[in-house]
Amino acid sequence: MSKYIETPQLNPLFPFRTFISYGWDITYPHWHKEVEIIYCLKGTVNLGVNEQVLKLKEGDAYVFPSGEAHFFLASPDSERIVYQFDLKLFHNIENLMISKRSLYDLFGSIPSYSMIWPQSIKEKITNLLLKLFHRSTQTEEGTEYEMAGLLNQLIAYFYKLPTIEKPINQSRQAMKNQEVMDCLNSVFTYVENNFLTAITMEEVANYVGFSPSYFSRFFKKHVGTSFIQYLTEYRINIAKYILGTSQQPLTEVASQSGFSSVKTFHHVFKAQVGISPKQFQKQIDQ
């Protein structure tokens, strides 16, 4: 089965999120640049790493470094907490580090499965994970600072784990995935900086040095959707944010999310979301 790239919707100012996923939630083989940690909250989670299936028991954790493919099979009566974060969250701290291992190297060199972590460190890490999830549900002012502190503590304990040498084929695949991610990051950044203009696939293909036909196949293979569909979804997500946080006229919402007219915006939004922009806004306000 082919592996596709996932692009978690993280806040660019604080690129971290955590949520509960339930036993019948199945995901196909995928990978992403973000580090992902799975904590088994209840039952047994059937977790796939590359081609191997593992059973994560209650209280266990598993860490996926950037670029490592994984999937989830049906795991009845189970619950798992998912944590995803971009390593750029720690760049200000990393500039002060004297460690020989960068964060990227760190997550590529530690044991992924908590079952083989020293018990004292496992307890520290899993306690921090539970605190992180709890804090993420709070809305008090300053919560983000507390979460940032917990995340930094988490990194400190990961540095205390023993190092291991991962299989060569697994390391090579992660490196190959990283090369793909670097190219796609250029595309995503280009979209982020230019979505207000009439971007064409040919324009982006030229930007990354691909022919339009090769770029079309490359993007669809790794992202799982066409470039035009990705661009549309990106603009729709911008529009959702504006609709949910302001009371601007639809003309302004359309303009600020990259649509050429209100008519086009209304048509595309309803086709993608299933309801009109106004109906979406009313649901948010309820």
Which residue shows structure tokens 């979301």? 273
Residue 257: which residues within 8 A CB-CB, separation 6 or more? 195, 235, 236, 238, 239, 242, 265
- Provide the pLDDT for residue 170: 54
Report domain extents, the chain: 4-158, 168-224, 230-285
- Of 3.30.420.40, 2.60.120.280, 1.20.140.10, 3.40.1670.10, which CATH number belongs to 4-158? 2.60.120.280
Which residue shows structure tokens 């790493």? 49
Could you give the 3-state DSSP secondary structure of residue 33? coil
Angstrom distance (rounded) from CA 179 to CA 280? 38
pTM: 0.66
- Provide the pLDDT for residue 1: 38
Nearest CA-CA partner of 199 in 179, 182, 180, 219: 219
- Provide the pLDDT for residue 176: 63
- Provide the pLDDT for residue 79: 95
Strand partners, 38: 62, 82
pLDDT along the chain (286 residues), means of 10: 67 88 82 91 90 89 88 89 92 65 87 95 97 92 92 96 71 62 82 91 94 92 84 88 85 93 94 91 72
Q: At what angle do helices 227-245 and 168-194 cross, to 10 degrees?
A: 60
- Cβ-contact 104, 155 below 8 angstroms: no
Amino acid making up residue 57: K
Could you give the 3-state DSSP secondary structure of residue 29? strand
- Of 2.40.50.100, 3.90.79.10, 1.10.10.60, 3.40.640.10, which CATH number belongs to 230-285? 1.10.10.60
Token pair of 214 as six digits: 């090769």
- Cβ-contact 110, 68 below 8 angstroms: no
- Cβ-contact 157, 165 below 8 angstroms: no
- Provide the pLDDT for residue 53: 84
